[in-house]
Amino acid sequence: MRTRRSLLLSLGAVPLACANAESPAAKPIERPDWSGFFSDAGAVGSLLVADERTGSRGTWVHGLERARRRYTPASTFKIPHSLFALDAGLLKDEFQLIPWDRVKHPTPAWNGDQTLRSAMRNSVVWVYQRFAEELGPQREAGYLRAIDYGNAKVTGNAPFWVEGDLALSCIEQIAFLRQLYRNELPFRVEHQRLVKDVMIVEAGRDWILRGKTGWSGKIGRWVGWVEWPDGPVFFALNIDTPQRLDDLPKREAITRAVLRSINALPPA
C-alpha cells in the first residue's frame, strides 16, 4: 500500500484530473422515464446515476443540462471536509471527542459533544465550521484545488459551502465519489476508508448504501453510492426546495425510487 504525504506539505501540487470532463464513453444518457419520479414528488431537479456493476454498466441522467450546472454542495461538502480535517490532524480517528461550545442549536442532536461519526450522521454544522476556522481559507482552498472540487472557491458568506461561492455539478460530484470509492484521492488510504465508513446509511446482506444529504435553503442534494458484489452504483441528485423543510424528504424518496427501478436497491 502506497503511503501518501499530508496535503499540507504539497498544496501546490497539480490537481487531480479535471472532474467535470465527460469522456465520450461515459456521456450520460437522458432517461425520459425518470421524469415521472420527479413529477410524482412535485419536484424540479436533476439526478445522475453511474452504474458500474458487471453486466449493467451505464450512465443515465434526468436533466443533463442541470447535472452539468454548478450549485452549492451544502452539507455534501462534509465528505471532503472530513478528509481535510483528518489530513490536517484536527481529528485522529472516529472516536475523538469534538467538544460542544455550549451554544444552543435548534437541532437537539447538535447540542453536545460530537465525534466524526455523529457529526456526519446528524450533519452537525458547527463541527465543520470549527474545522474551517482551524484550517483557514488558504489551506481550505489548497485542499479544494488539490482534489479539483468544483470551482474550489472559499469566498462569499460563511459557511462558504452553504452560503458562499463554492459550487460543483452532479457530474463533478460523481467524479469525486468515484475517486473516494477507489481510495484514489490524495489522502491516506485509512482516512478515505474511515470517511466511507461514517457515510454508511444502511446495508443489507450483500449491499451497502453510503451517502450524504445537503440543503442550502434553496437547493437540496443527496449524493453517494450503493456497493454490490459486482460493482458500485453512484448517484448525485439536486432539487429545488421552494417549500423548504417540506421538500427535504423528496431528496431520498426520488433517488431511492430511481435506484429501485434499476435494481440498484432492494424493494422497499
> Which residue type is seen at 190?
E
Neighbours of 67 (CB within 10 A): 24
Determine which one of 75, 118, 123, 169 is catalytic.
Answer: 75
What is the pLDDT at residue 7? 54
Q: What is the residue-averaged pLDDT of the chain?
A: 92
More confident position, 171 or 16: 171
Residue 13's pLDDT band (cuts 50, 70, 90): very low
Contact 63, 45 (CB under 8 A): yes
The predicted-structure confidence for 37-56, as pLDDT tens digits, reads as follows 999 999 999 999 999 999 88
pLDDT for position 24: 38
Q: What percent of the chain shows pLDDT beyond 90? A: 88
Report the predicted TM-score, pTM, of the whole model to 2 decimal places: 0.91
- For residue 75, indicate whether it is catalytic: yes
Read off the pLDDT of residues 215-264 as tens digits, 9 standing for 90 and up: 999 999 999 999 999 999 999 999 999 999 999 999 999 999 999 999 99
Bridge partners of 86, per DSSP, are none
pLDDT of residue 259: 98
**What are the E-state strand segments in the chain?**
29-30, 45-51, 58-62, 200-203, 208-215, 219-228, 231-240
80: closest CA among 123, 143, 129, 35? Answer: 143
CATH code 3.40.710.10 for 29-261: yes
Mean per-residue pLDDT for 96-109? 95
- Alpha-carbon distance 206 to 44, whole Å? 33
Instruction: Tell me how far apart the alpha carbons of residues 172 and 174 are, in angstroms, rounded to a whole number.
Output: 5
User: Which is nearest to 238 in space by CA: 74, 121, 31, 34?
Assistant: 74
| pLDDT value of position 4 | 45
Q: What is the pLDDT of residue 17?
A: 45
Every domain of the chain and the residues it spans: 29-261
In contact, 7 and 187? CB cutoff 8 Å: yes
Averaged pLDDT, 168-189? 98
Residue 65's φ and ψ, nearest 5 degrees, are -60, -40
Task: Determine the pLDDT at residue 2.
Answer: 36
Check pLDDT > 90 for residue 70: yes
pLDDT of 22 above 70:
no
Copy the grid coordinates of residue 33.
422515464
- The predicted pLDDT at position 56 comes to 83
* Residue 3 dihedral angles phi and psi, to the nearest 5°: -90, 135
CB 195 within 8 A of CB 212: no
Rounded Cα gap, residues 99 and 171, in angstroms? 36
For residue 98, the cross-strand partners are 114
Q: What is the pLDDT of residue 27?
A: 85
What pLDDT shows up at residue 268? 83
Give the model's pLDDT for residue 33.
Answer: 96
Predicted confidence (pLDDT) at residue 114 exceeds the cutoff of 70: yes
